[in-house]
Amino acid sequence: MLKNKKWLLLVLLSFVALATGISSYGSSNKIKADEKTYQIGTDVTYPPFEFANNQNKYVGIDIDLMKEIANEEGFKVNIKPIGFNAAVQSLESGQIDGMIAGTTITPARKQKMDFSDPYFKTGVVMAVSPKSGIKDLKDLKGKRVAIKTGTAAAAYAQKLQSKYGFKTVTFDDSDNMYSDVVNKNSVACFEDAPVMQYAIRTGVKLSIATKPAQGGAYGFAVKKGQNQELLKKFNEGLKKLKANGQYNKIVSKYLGKKAIKQQKEQKDDNSIFGLLKQNWGALMGGLQQTLLLTVVAILCATIFGVLLGLLGVMPNKLANGVSTIIIYIFRGLPLLVLALFIYSGVPNLTGEKIPAFIAGIITLTLNEGAYTAAFVKGGIKAVDSGQMEAAKSLGLPYWKSMRRVILPQGLRIMIPSFINQFIITLKDTSILSIIGILELTQTGKIIIARNFEGFKIWAIVALMYLIIITLLTWLSNWFEKRMNA
Phi first, then psi: what are they for 189, rounded to 5°? Answer: -140, 160
List, in order of start, the domains of the chain with CATH numbers.
35-119+219-265 (3.40.190.10), 121-216 (3.40.190.10), 273-484 (1.10.3720.10)
Distance CA 297, CA 56 (A): 28
Check: CB of residue 246 under 8 Å from CB of residue 404: no
Phi first, then psi: what are they for 113, rounded to 5°? Answer: -130, 155
pTM: 0.74
Strand partners, 208: 127
Distance CA 211, CA 234 (A): 31
At residue 263, the pLDDT reads 67
Task: Please give the DSSP secondary-structure letter assigned to residue 171.
Answer: E
Would you tell me how many other CB atoms lie within 10 Å of the CB of residue 415? Answer: 17
pLDDT in tens, the chain (485 residues): 444 555 555 555 554 454 444 444 444 444 444 456 899 999 877 889 998 887 778 899 999 999 999 999 999 999 988 888 888 888 988 889 999 999 999 898 999 999 999 999 999 999 999 888 898 999 999 999 999 888 889 999 999 999 999 999 998 888 889 989 998 999 999 999 999 988 888 788 899 999 999 888 999 999 999 999 999 999 999 999 999 999 999 999 988 877 777 766 666 677 888 888 888 988 999 999 999 999 999 999 999 999 999 999 988 899 999 999 999 999 999 999 999 999 988 988 888 888 889 999 999 999 999 999 999 999 999 888 888 888 888 888 888 888 888 888 888 888 888 888 888 999 999 999 888 788 999 888 888 877 778 889 999 999 999 999 898 888 878 877 777 66
At residue 208, the pLDDT reads 94
Distance CA 113, CA 227 (A): 11
At residue 10, the pLDDT reads 53
At residue 259, the pLDDT reads 74
Distance CA 133, CA 146 (A): 17
10 Å CB burial of residue 253 (0-12, 13-18, 19+) is: middle
At residue 6, the pLDDT reads 54
Distance CA 220, CA 350 (A): 25
Task: Please give the DSSP secondary-structure letter assigned to residue 100.
Answer: -
